[in-house]
Amino acid sequence: MLSPIQEYLKTLHSRYASVMDGHVADYIPELSKADPRHFGICIATRDGHVYEVGDTRQSFTIQSVSKALAYGLALEDRGEEHVLARIGVEPSGEAFNAISLKEGTGAPFNPMINAGAIATCGQVLPTDEQSRIERILAYLSGFAGRQLDIDEAIYQSESDTGHRNRAIGWLLRNFEIIDEDPHETLETYFQQCSIRVTCRDLAIMGATLANQGVNPLTQKRAIAAEYVDNVLGVMATCGMYDWSGEWVYRVGLPAKSGVGGGILAVLPGQLGIGVFSPPLDSQGNSLRGIRVCMDLSHELALHML
Ligand code: DON
């Protein structure tokens, strides 16, 4: 017999399973191969219960969801003062790939937009490309509670077409937000975006944040407790780009989306939510992901405010 929460997730899944609005990301050619029918919903609680329905074990690339977690690593490596001096925490109100740099200092507005995420990559130690990506991969694996890997075809495609991100990288170098050749930082960023996850992984990552940084399945600490609120803070204010205000108004949970179709949302102290559905809206957020999170928030009374 299914538990009430499992029954509810099944109903929610079938409510949107046939909705086919939106478009799969195609600005990175390999991403356009995603199957728009894939659809998974998963909830993981801070005490380690996992409820899932649909394509929750299908892998896809984490993309911008990684930005929230990598920000935690940069804070751990360099401390709050160093990171805040280089990357702001204000919503930009602009698209994820906007060249949103503060006048004068050149600091990106926040770590969730590409400019801020590339700058964040540039803070992770040690600074050589190979060690950096290995650390980021190990760090994100701690949140997922299993060893993650990189989708090499997506990485190659990101690197082949990431000219706008390269331009942002050189601007960051110009303003001394990053200290080394941006080429290496960019390749690390492209690899970070190409880390393969599942919808279930996103929910467990969320549950880890909900559990003050300790993965509820492995019982291992993934992020220092002192930085969990900082990560959740930027997710709440900037995680959905130029839809962040509306997201907080309607859903009321810290969250982060990625163009692979994933959304990770967190009810602090309680649970993590993962939704996976590749078709996106014009802001680059998963369309079914947003609808599912709006319903979850209303029907389970999860809105924090
Ligand atoms: O920088 C990029 O274009 C991507 N690799 C990541 C963007 C992304 O996921 C934006 N989110 N919705």
Best residue among 114, 155, 164 to mutate for probing ligand 1, ranked by most atoms within 8 Å of CB: 114
Looking at residue 85, what is its pLDDT? 97
List, for residues 190-211, the tens digit of each pLDDT value: 999 999 999 999 999 999 999 9
The answer to whether residues 234 and 71 touch, using CB atoms and an 8 Å cutoff, is yes
| Residue 54 CB partners (closer than 8 Å, separation 6+) | 13, 17, 39, 40, 41, 199
Q: Beta-carbon neighbour count of residue 33 at 10 Å? A: 12
| Protein residue closest via CA to atom 8 of ligand 1 | 64
- Establish whether 67 is a catalytic residue: yes
Q: Beta-carbon neighbour count of residue 249 at 10 Å? A: 11
List, for residues 131-189, the tens digit of each pLDDT value: 999 999 999 999 999 999 999 999 999 999 999 999 999 999 999 999 999 999 999 99
CATH 3.40.710.10 is the classification of domain 65-194: yes
Residues of the chain with pLDDT under 70: none
SS3 238: helix
Q: CATH 3.40.710.10 spans which residues of the chain?
A: 4-62+196-299, 65-194
Looking at residue 100, what is its pLDDT? 87
Buried b / exposed e over 146-167, threshold 16 CB at 10 Å, is: eebebbeebbebbbeebeebee
Q: Taking the domain 4-62+196-299, which CATH number applies?
A: 3.40.710.10
SS3 190: helix
| Protein residue closest via CA to atom 7 of ligand 1 | 64
Compute the distance from residue 63 Cα to the ligand 1 centre, in Å: 5
CB distance 114 to ligand 1 below 6 Å: yes
Report strand pairing: 40-45 vs 60-61.
Answer: unpaired
CA distance 241 to 218: 32
Looking at residue 129, what is its pLDDT? 81
Looking at residue 1, what is its pLDDT? 79
Atom of ligand 1 nearest to the CA of 63: 9
H or E element, residue 149: strand 149-150
